[in-house]
Every structure is written in C-alpha cells, then in structure tokens.
Amino acid sequence: MAGVNNRSRFLGEINVVPLVDVVLVLLIIFMVAAPMMVQGLDVKLPETTSGALKTSEELLVLTVTKEGKVFLDEFPVGVKGLAAKLKNIKTRKPGTRVYLRADQDVPYGVVVQVLAEAKKAGVSNLGMVTEPERVPPPQKKKS
C-alpha cells in the first residue's frame, strides 16, 4: 500500500527550462528582425548648429536621395510631376508646412529643380531639414 501513495502524488514544481529556451529564441529573433522593420529613406543630411524642429502642424517632407530620386513623404514622385502634387495637397490642406531633406552628396542642380517645382506649386515658405553638428568631446590634458 505504501507504493500506491507514492505513485499517486503529483509533482508540484513547474519545469521552466523549456519556457526560458523559447523566450530566449524569440528574443533573439526579434532583436535580429527589428532593424529590418524600420521604414524610411536613407539620407545623409548635412550638419548644422540649428536647433530641433518643434511643431504640431501638418508636415510634408520632400526628400532627395543621393541618387537624385525625389520622394513626397515616403512616396516616390518625379521632379516633373512634383508641382501638381504639391499644389493639390496645398489646396486640400492649406496649413501644411513643407520641408526639404536633401542628401549632402546630391548634385546642387537636382535640389534647385525641386525648389523650382515647389515654388511653381505655390509653396512660399520651404524649410530645410539638417542634422545637428557633431562636436567631438574635449580632449583631456596629459599631466
């Protein structure tokens, strides 16, 4: 009879090793996949000492990549069709502010074309987006 009591007892401990294994595998998967899920356009902006942009208004960003491709927010657009699209947006949302992000390696002529198209569309106030200037940390004196 003593053997029957030993077999009918339940083990009151939870084996957490498989749970930890699964959680660690999921953590590694998400750590590897997270940088690939970031969307946006890779543009190397010029650096200046201007402050950060603080506004709660509608923003429209024109991006010019190093290859000379033009994007309206995240949507590709040709330089020739840019004026019509900007004019359409400005008539639907008159308070929209327009900003230009251009890669520092883009030819100047491409940026001028984009500016001319924006002016044709009636954009009178165009902001420029830059990166803050990176200042190296001060060197310690050797004693």
**pTM exceeds 0.75:** no
User: φ, ψ for residue 108 (rounded to 5)?
Assistant: -60, -35
Q: What is the pLDDT of residue 45?
A: 62
Dihedral angle, C-alpha 78, 82, 84, 90, nearest 10 °: 150
Q: Residue 9 corresponds to which tokens in the numbers above? A: 């007892």
Quick: pLDDT tens for 25-75.
999 998 888 877 766 556 666 666 655 555 556 788 888 888 888 898 888
Report the alpha-carbon angle 110-99-66, nearest 5: 35
Tens digit of each residue's pLDDT (9 = 90 or more) over 14-24: 888 999 999 99
**What percentage of the chain reaches a pLDDT higher than 70?**
71
If one looks up domain 47-132 in CATH, what number appears? 3.30.420.270
**88 Cα distance to chain centroid:** 25
Which pLDDT value is given to residue 15?
Answer: 85
Strands (E) located in the chain: 47-48, 59-64, 70-72, 75-77, 97-102, 126-128, 131-132
Residue type, 51: G
The one-letter amino acid code at 18 reads P
**CB distance 102 to 43 below 8 Å:** yes
